[in-house]
Structure 1
């Protein structure tokens, strides 16, 4: 709805047409509105729309009579808009391919208005009253539209298994003229384009390198060449526990029957033939040796596990309603046992294929390639974490530890027990989707997420990143399935070439009490695994409740979901990445003292699990921060009304809970850094010791600090350095109040690079989207006894130096 349009000339609408439009609006089923300021698609409610594109209910909008009052009825039936689609840069073949940009031209025979817009739908011919579009654009994005009545708008088309079409909408003038007031917000579809087909739209797309736990299922047999192949579970039971945790996840529109698979080989250097690892005698249970290619390389095939989910697996609207979109299939294939013999730094090449013969990348494009991660086995850990009777901690947390070391068989390999320096991690949260066309959908955030992706790609190109971690609020799909496809394409240029670890944030996992009650009833009905529910009850996932993210982005601690075979437990896990021991929390789940997650943290941070000779640096990552300069929750808790099980979900409330329950453990265990997101800013804090009794009255005080940096150097801090990096692309929250524990605050998009330069020195740089270092600091720990005395000696607490600040200030809306 909106203000009445002002146009010249009479308007003619038949009584039957008016009745049809009105009935469609009035009979719309009631629903619970879902709004999320991070997701522009929530501004549309298809259930209030009217489809005027069918002949029976065609609505001509505000027609301008060409001949005055005597215009014929046929003129009223004439199409008020014309819409056509053409390639922005036509190919010689005449075909459109994935990620091509098209120009959508809309020509109006009515008075141009700022209420006119066009939307893309995929699959085409969708019921616009029941399905959200994938994108939309106001016709006034073309600045000449109001003058000429012609809009030319660019749309980039992501290959997501189906064709597209475009639908033009006007506002609901008919209804508002009938009621003489704007009671019903609505839109009327008045024109639809021809179907736009993309070449191989259902083929393999969007690969991302991921890490898997040993419990992640793999296919039980091969379907190619009759080769015998056993499952990972069978291999483990036979004593073979050397499965590589490195895998590729990708999407397609083809099910398991099409034999989706990963083909990989080691690139042979022309003058360094000795660096090519020979696999002539190393074909094991997880790899099937295929024919040698024309360059005489040994090519290996790993068959994929194939999964999907349906609307009935999702816990609420809009995810299981207007936002649902066919997710196709997600395929996951390990590199397998032979990969364990590849030397760190060796260039590995791979491609994706299936029984149809389709490949990704296409046959005329370069293959995908990456450097084998410079990773090592922590002494004995790989075996212990695979054998329940040998690991009390693993039994204690219900198989939750899933300690992943990117295991390597020693087999005489160099670096099998030696850490390689330097080693770089890229860390950030809160990314979302950026825009690079005229679609209004993402204009609020602009191109920030794309700019961050481009900056990461440049560092990957220069081999300056060894692994990446995106800790929560990945896509901000919040129930709109098409956004996941857009997001996966956005990150492909870098996520296909370095291991990407992910964890859940509130916009992946959080549901309402009613949604979790429904999920529980479904678990009982189908006898599936119990879901890991969030403890805040805010419904921030838009009814996803962790399902799409855990299927599309498997990780070592994949959430228990709906019996989809995701494996894992509550979303918490540990990985050993070069010299880093990275502990990933799930701050959406219970982490209180004595909980499963607390016991996991206690076990994994114990001296017998952390070998400081191999992993001198321990970093804890989480979505929500344990220390953050934020006005949200400064004065009082924020608890969902009517949910007796909900915890305080405010920034300060969650931080106080983390400080009370787990921070003492981090201090005692010698954690070097705690990195989180949720608040959309970059903040670097003191080395934080904490308070004996955390509370709001002392929260913003510096007295909890053990050490401030001197010229940006933390020399032997006795507590973790705290950082907030919620800068992946989502709009800034600007909640800071100038808390005394803060050393610097940046409102800039980018990511944190943590580089282990030696066993005693870790350098951090916050990179902006232009590749510039906006902040830099160093943590030096050369006292290997790591004495973390809990007695309060705050003589080292000094007034913090202030780095560059662009303060938002004031009391703002909740972050995340």
Structure 2
């Protein structure tokens, strides 16, 4: 039975109509100020209790109302629309009364970004906006509320990393125990942040900048395998989070069962129907479906193109808010994609504009993966009977590079008795059905480079499964080596269907080594491995049914 999980209800006091997308980019620096004293904008309530609260915005007094009138959410409230992009926005004609009498009401859901907020009424469209009115200021009751809680595995199966964000810190802690409401174990947290000078270009360093708050991380240690723990994060001075729970990772053992969900290219969407700079509304379906399967899932693997903030920093807050119900309960493991790093800087293998000037800084500061260092975002880890090796396709990976040397050593170190399954993952795919031949960063040239530099290495160490993303589709090969279906070779799967716009640029003739392709649905993949068999499913979001299922055997 079809299950349509889209959260595109606009929760407005007025009748909704077909959603019309604005121009792709806001003309922030083209904005002029021309306040109309007749236009009144009111936001209620003025004090919000917690992150995720709703605000009702009402306006009236708009003469000659137009479909180009819109309401922007600006944080902080003092932000100049000529210098700062809104966090999100909505067209006033989402409310039918706007076009008839110049008044209306719309509701916004707000994430706590640690600053005050104002709603600003702009006219003349999004390319050359005119600021006409400003609402009263809205604040959060506790701007230092711990938010964006997410777990990650560490180098040890007896510990779990937890990260969160707060506006201020005094003595941040994580407290935990095996009984709800009782948290005898305590660990101090470390904290850090980054500032606009760390960004390497626009819009991250200009109109997209937003203060990230304090990024806090701690390790819960001496955990017992398979035991459920209850925990809270926060600060004695500034307040505590709700209580969350997780199950401690198992000690690697080849006889165990491991269950994970994997995908790439997800981003975030808005449950209030408002508009961001890039939109991945189908990601709401992906997260909702994953949430429904959480009790049967051990970890998440998100292989690149994480939030699609691309220089609009507040979207990182929105993304972590969206995944918190998942990532606060099971480890959320990631690797870097082009929209996290790529920019004309020495660290980037491909010098496009894909990161919007972020150059990997928000990604490495916000995700505490068990990597060698902040500047080396590649790593390996074990969970149950699987060892995972995650590379960065956005950094130099050719033979002799630091990353290549790491991959050689990591693959050579895997104990196939305790972790008989070996999964390799990176963002840009080694095998892809695509027409993108652009040099040097097109999908086909990069796929050839990956094959030239890494395919023999993966074969040498008998990698079982390779997961890729970047192309927004589902694609599976036969067991393949050097473009030929070969018994006992490596199966490659592209799983870039998490939320971004699907891509249908396949070749007129499908390469013979592809056995399954799907580019009409968003979705996610499920993997379950025991000692002898690894099952893989691709689940389509809108029907929540498998499009593909295959089994690897030992």
- Say which of 262, 285, 310 aligns to 1:451: 285
Aligned partner of residue 43 in structure 1, secondary structure: coil
Matched, 1:631 2:435: yes
- Given candidates 664, 668, 678, the residue that maps to 2:456 is 664
Alpha-carbon distance between aligned partners in 1 of 2:166 and 2:23, rounded to the nearest angstrom: 24
Structure 2 runs not aligned, ≥5 long: 1-20
Q: Which of 267, 272, 275 is matched with 1:437 structurally?
A: 272
Contact kept? 2:72, 2:121, Cα under 8 Å? yes
* Contact map agreement 1:80 1:190 (CA 8 A) in 2: no
Q: Is the 8 A contact 1:44 1:132 kept in 2?
A: yes
Query: Structure 1 length as normaliser, TM-score?
Result: 0.63
1:600 and 2:406 correspond: yes
TM-superposed deviation, 1:621: 0.6
The answer to whether residue 547 in structure 2 is matched with residue 755 in structure 1 is: no
User: Is 1:328 the equivalent of 2:108?
Assistant: no
Q: CA deviation at 1:568?
A: 4.8
Q: Indicate conservation of the 8 Å contact 1:303/1:333, yes or no.
A: yes
Is structure 2 residue 153 aligned with structure 1 residue 195?
no
Aligned counterpart, 1:346: 227
Indicate the RMSD between aligned Cα atoms, in angstroms. Answer: 2.2
1:46 to 2:4 alignment: no
- Tell me, in whole angstroms, the C-alpha distance in 2 between the residues paired with 1:435 and 1:299: 38
Whether 1:261 aligns to 2:173 is yes
**Distance change (3 Å), C-alpha of 1:423 and 1:243:** closer
Match 2:351 to one of 537, 541, 548: 537
Deviation at 1:371, TM superposition (A): 1.2
1:288 corresponds to which residue?
none
CA contact under 8 A between 1:683 and 1:724: conserved in structure 2? Answer: yes
Change (3 A) 1:190 1:763: same
Shift of 1:444: 5.0
Report the counterpart of residue 553 of structure 1 in structure 2: 367
> Which protein is richer in helix relative to its size?
1
Shift of 1:655: 0.5
Aligned partner of residue 451 in structure 1, secondary structure: helix
Partner of 2:100: 147
Alignment partners' CA distance in 1, 2:505 and 2:159: 39
Matched ranges for 1:78-89 at <5 A: 79-87=37-45
Where 1:488 maps in the other structure, the secondary structure is helix
SS of aligned partner of 2:41: strand
2:303 aligns to what?
471
Larger relative contact order (C-alpha < 8 A, sep ≥ 6)?
A: 2
Structure 1 residue 496: Cα displacement:
0.5
**1:210/1:501 contact within 8 Å kept:** yes
CA distance in 1, matches of 2:255, 2:24: 47
Identify which of 396, 404, 417 aligns with 1:613.
417
Residue matched to 2:249: 373
- Return the structure number with greater strand share: 2
Residue 771 of structure 1 deviates from its aligned partner by 6.9
Q: 1:590 to 1:309 in 2, by over 3 A?
A: same
2:76 corresponds to which residue? 123
1:252 aligns with 2:166: yes
CA distance in 2, matches of 1:781, 1:595: 33
* Distance in 2 of aligned mates of 1:459 and 1:149: 46
Structure 2 residue aligned with 1:302: 187
2:397 pairs, out of 570, 591, 595, with 591
Partner of 1:680: 472
In structure 2, the partner of 1:186 is 128
Unaligned runs of 5+ in 1: 1-38, 53-57, 61-78, 173-183, 214-241, 269-292, 362-366, 377-417, 518-532, 559-566, 639-647, 692-703, 707-716, 783-816
SS of 2:314's partner is helix
CA contact (8 A) 1:96 1:197 kept: no
How far has the Cα of 1:148 moved from its partner?
3.1
Q: CA deviation at 1:611?
A: 1.9
Q: Per the alignment, do residues 98 and 725 of structure 1 end up closer, same or farther by CA in structure 2, a change over 3 Å counting? A: same
Could you say which residue in structure 2 is the equivalent of 1:577? 383
Answering whether residue 512 of structure 2 is matched by residue 730 of structure 1, we say no
Verify the 8 A CA contact 1:208 1:500 in the aligned structure 2.
yes
CA distance in 2, matches of 1:150, 1:743: 56
Shift in Å, 1:42: 6.4
Does 1:424 find its partner at 2:259? yes
Q: Secondary structure at the match of 2:293?
A: helix
Residue 158 in structure 1 maps to residue 111 in structure 2? yes
Find the partner of 1:312 among 186, 197, 205: 197
2:52 aligned to which of 92, 99, 114: 99
**Partner SS, residue 604 of structure 1:** helix
**Judging changes above 3 Å, is the alpha-carbon distance between structure 1 residues 314 and 95 closer, same or farther for their aligned structure 2 residues?**
closer
TM-score of the pair, normalised by structure 2: 0.91
Q: 1-side partners of 2:215 and 2:78: how far apart?
A: 25
Match of 2:541 in 1: 769
Secondary structure of the equivalent of 2:68? coil
Deviations 1:101-123 (CA, angstroms, capped at 9, x unpaired): 22212224311111111100111
Counterparts of 1:202 and 1:593, CA distance in 2: 46
1:127 aligned counterpart, secondary structure: coil
Instruction: Tell me how far 1:569 sits from its aligned partner.
Output: 4.4
Contact kept, 8 Å, 1:754 with 1:763, in 2: the verdict is yes
Give the secondary structure class of the aligned counterpart of 1:536: coil
What is the alpha-carbon distance in structure 2 between the residues aligned to residue 651 and residue 625 of structure 1?
Answer: 7
**Residue of structure 2 equivalent to 1:501:** 333
The size of the alignment, in residue pairs, is: 531
With 595-604 and 120-129 compared, the bigger mean Cα shift is at: 595-604
Evaluate the alpha carbon distance shift between residue 615 and residue 130 of structure 1 in structure 2; reply closer, same or farther with a 3 A threshold.
Answer: same
